[in-house]
Amino acid sequence: MHNGLPSRETVRRVREKYPPGCRVELVQIYDPYTKLQPGDLGTVESVDDIGTVFVAWDSGSRLGVAWGEDKIRRV
């Protein structure tokens, strides 16, 4: 980790674990403005270069899941 950002290797592992199209469940999110709740389901769209997993949530939200902050799991 450098400057609070994940290493390239960490981002590679995140991309392997959460490929586009895989389904995920929200475990925990630190965003006071979202209506997403633990247990919400969605489909991964992409992972950016800092490990943010972008999810198309079934609720219609398209909020990204921040590496090192929020938690999701594959279902």
The pLDDT value given to residue 4: 79
Phi/psi zone of residue 68: left (φ > 0), alpha (ψ -120 to 50 degrees), beta? left
User: Tokens for 68?
Assistant: 């090192």
Q: What is the pLDDT of residue 1?
A: 42
1 belongs to a structural domain: no
Q: Is the pTM of this model over 0.75?
A: yes
1-45 pLDDT, tens digit per residue, is 446 789 999 999 999 999 999 999 999 999 999 999 999 999 999
Domain count, the chain: 1
pLDDT higher for 60 or 1? Answer: 60
Phi then psi for 71, rounded to 5 degrees?
A: -135, 135
**CA-to-CA distance for 34 and 62, rounded, in angstroms?**
10
pLDDT of residue 26: 98
Give the CATH number of the domain where residue 35 resides: 2.30.30.40
Q: Which residues constitute the domain of residue 67?
A: 8-74
Structural domain contains residue 3: no
